[in-house]
Amino acid sequence: MPHDNASELFPVVDPRGAVVGRATRGECHGGSMLLHPVVHLHVFDAAGRLYLQRRPLWKDIQPGRWDTAVGGHVAWGETIDEALRREAREELGIEGFEAEHVATYLFRSEREQELVHVFRTRMDGPISPSNELDGGRFWSPDEIRSAMGRGVLTPNFEGEAGRVIDL
């Protein structure tokens, strides 16, 4: 069974996004509350539906829940744009898209703290989820609304959904 690499290096940032150090995935996700950057890409189709990925059961954070189409950590030495494009390619096999910046915000859970860089795009071509995911599909805004607060979606996605779709 795949698993997250606890020794993977992440940049540690201040609330403005300036790099102030580095730490491992294990340190960042182990309750240290070290602020580390992540990227999210919301992928829409021509009908206005939003693609969500299902997180694999082996993930260390929110296993089995539905989440943002693309979400991943910025690696040590990588820019936000490089991370966004790498994650989109690795998770969904998509390239050459126009990314619109939506927001940057601080997300805090009981075990970690992330500086989330949110983008959106429209994709009418093929989407090929990798084995990093348990698949995915397009959801209508009504389907998303009805799943909110029921433990189906990640809390991070639920908090962010209103930034990208009209709920």
Q: Tens of pLDDT along 93-126?
A: 999 999 999 999 999 988 899 999 999 999 988 8
**Domains, the chain:** 9-160 (3.90.79.10)
CA distance 110 to 67: 18
Sign of CA dihedral 33, 69, 63, 77: negative
Question: In percent, how much of the chain has pLDDT > 70?
Answer: 97
The tokens for 70 are 């693309």
